Amino acid sequence: MKITTSLIGLLGHTQGLDLPRVNRYQYAPVGAAAPVYAVPLAPAAPVASIAPAAPIAPVAQTAYFAPAAPVAPSAPVAQEASVAQAAEMPFESVKVAEEHPFEPVYVPSSAGYDLSGLPALNSPPPSSQFIFHNKLPKSGSTTMKYIISTLQKANDFHMDYQSPCINKATCATDPADGIGAESTLANHVKVEREQHPGKFILLKHQYWLNFTEHDMEQPTYINVVRDPVTRFASMYYFNRYGFKSMGSAARQGAVRHSWKGTEEDIVRTLDMCMEQQGEECSEPLQVLVRYFCGTAIECNMKSAKMGKFGALNNWDKVAKAAELAKKKIITQYYSIGLMEKFDETLSLFEKMLPGFFKGAPAAYRSQFVQNQRESSKTAHTDGYSNSTRSWLEEGPLRYEMDLYKLISAIFYERLNYYGIGADTITIDPK
């Protein structure tokens, strides 16, 4: 579904089709096969788009994406939409122009993606007081936590760092709490913001949610994503071996306390999982899709069929949820960085949100943050082969790759606008 220019501003394949397996570990192509992805090393060569899958029936537009009135650069925006509707319109469209006068710089397309619904590159943030990093697992979120905590005093803001559940004791039986819930988190934020009325930044594993449905200000959403294959590989081994040295003994060491598989499963490498068509590899969680799609029922991609490690994917639902996730990425996120370009990501955040991230690159290089970063690595990993990467990109993680490439295209456009170079890969792949 094309977003026209009138739109200005955890954890838990194509339409109606499961991906049929051709041999032991290949998926039959749906449409043209996606090319093997490589992380771009220069802003002039952003990530190439993957070949399109078979057409997906258009997802019915909801009020979430009701078009906003076009915004003239110097004219006030009409304020007729309800608060809840406004929160899910492109954030630029609910700005009052005279409060933040600027000459907008738009990006109609990039790397094969239509970005005509993307707010202007020089748009002010939706909220200058409330930032939400709804962090993804195994995507640099622990490092971000310590960078932000280091910046609190100098930049005069309050950081609220929360576990996936607000109330750990009751989370397992409370449907209103957890990464896919809303009300418990909303109530928590209300109390916290009353106690800390100044600048406030929230960090939590959480699917996107509309705070205005809870009579609250919508935050400025940011995030950091990681190449889906390396993120999946990191999580695959983390599930077995935990952190290298962070947290209690139960969260690190030879075997994870929460591991639910067998001894045979523990020693199975990612390459072996691919060769044997293990469920962990063929039915992975669609993490990027779910986090960016949000808490709505349309974002639930699981089928009623249970497997060894939980409910299996409904690939038709995955395809539709991925389209909704794209809309959120384009219209609802002020900035999304890449873990593979972490230095550049911090420089971008510093320029776009200086009230929170001024000094972030220096904080990242501090000995304190580097020590914490080292401790949060996965204890053990066996890596994976190029054939495993290709199989994952073209099959079970193809929708994740599509979102990652869209995010990358926007990221490089923003780097270019702010004059930030991107010549190196700054990630430690473990």
Q: Which pair of tokens denotes residue 25?
A: 């570990």
Could you give the CA distance from residue 305 to residue 303 in angstroms, rounded to a whole number? 5
Residue ranges of alpha helices (H) inside 365-397 are 367-375, 386-394
Is-contact 380 158, C-beta < 8 A?
A: no
- Per-residue pLDDT for 67 more than 50? no
- Per-residue pLDDT for 97 more than 90? no
Query: Given pLDDT bands bounded at 50, 70 and 90, which one contains residue 265?
Result: confident
Domains of the chain: 5-418 (3.40.50.300)
Is-contact 291 225, C-beta < 8 A?
A: no
Q: Are strands 113-114 and 310-313 parallel, antiparallel or unpaired?
A: unpaired
pLDDT at 294: 97
- Per-residue pLDDT for 34 more than 80? no
E strands, 36-188, are: 109-110, 113-114, 130-133, 158-161
pLDDT at 40: 42
The arithmetic mean of pLDDT across residues 291-319, rounded, is 94
Taking alpha carbons only, the member of 189, 126, 99, 39 closest to residue 352 is 126
Place of tokens 């449907």: 175
Mean pLDDT, all residues of the chain: 80
Q: What would the pLDDT profile of 317-340 be if each residue is shown by its tens digit? A: 999 999 999 999 999 999 999 999
E strands, 148-262, are: 158-161, 200-203, 220-225
The arithmetic mean of pLDDT across residues 152-178, rounded, is 94
pLDDT at 47: 42
Could you give the CA distance from residue 380 to residue 374 in angstroms, rounded to a whole number? 13
Place of tokens 């930044």: 201
pLDDT at 246: 56
Share of the chain above pLDDT 90, in %: 58
The arithmetic mean of pLDDT across residues 30-47, rounded, is 41
Rg (alpha carbons) of the chain, rounded to whole number = 21
Could you give the CA distance from residue 328 to residue 62 in angstroms, rounded to a whole number? 13
pLDDT at 423: 65
Instruction: Name the least confident of 46-60, 194-208, 243-257, 272-286.
Output: 46-60
Residue 361 neighbours by CB under 8 Å, 6+ apart: 343, 346, 347, 350
DSSP for 58-91, written as a single string? PPPP-GGGPPPPPPPTTSPPP--S-HHHHHHS-G
Which class for 245: exposed (0-12), middle (13-18), buried (19 or more C-beta within 10 A)? middle
pLDDT at 44: 43
Taking alpha carbons only, the member of 340, 407, 325, 339 closest to residue 113 is 407
DSSP for 350-372, written as a single string? HHH-HHHHTTHHHHHTSHHHHHH
Residue type, 129: Q
pTM of the model: 0.76
Could you give the CA distance from residue 213 to residue 222 in angstroms, rounded to a whole number? 20
Taking alpha carbons only, the member of 290, 303, 310 closest to residue 400 is 290
Phi and psi (nearest 5°) for 304? -80, -10
Could you give the CA distance from residue 59 to residue 56 in angstroms, rounded to a whole number? 8
pLDDT at 332: 97
Q: What would the pLDDT profile of 99-144 be if each residue is shown by its tens digit? A: 556 699 999 888 888 898 899 999 999 999 999 999 999 999 999 9
Q: What would the pLDDT profile of 192-228 be if each residue is shown by its tens digit? A: 999 999 999 999 999 999 999 999 999 999 999 999 9
pLDDT at 21: 38
pLDDT at 380: 78
Is-contact 114 2, C-beta < 8 A?
A: yes
Higher pLDDT, 110 or 400: 400
Could you give the CA distance from residue 408 to residue 110 in angstroms, rounded to a whole number? 10
141, HSE (Cβ side, Cα atoms, 13 Å): 22
The arithmetic mean of pLDDT across residues 44-59, rounded, is 44
Is-contact 231 138, C-beta < 8 A?
A: yes
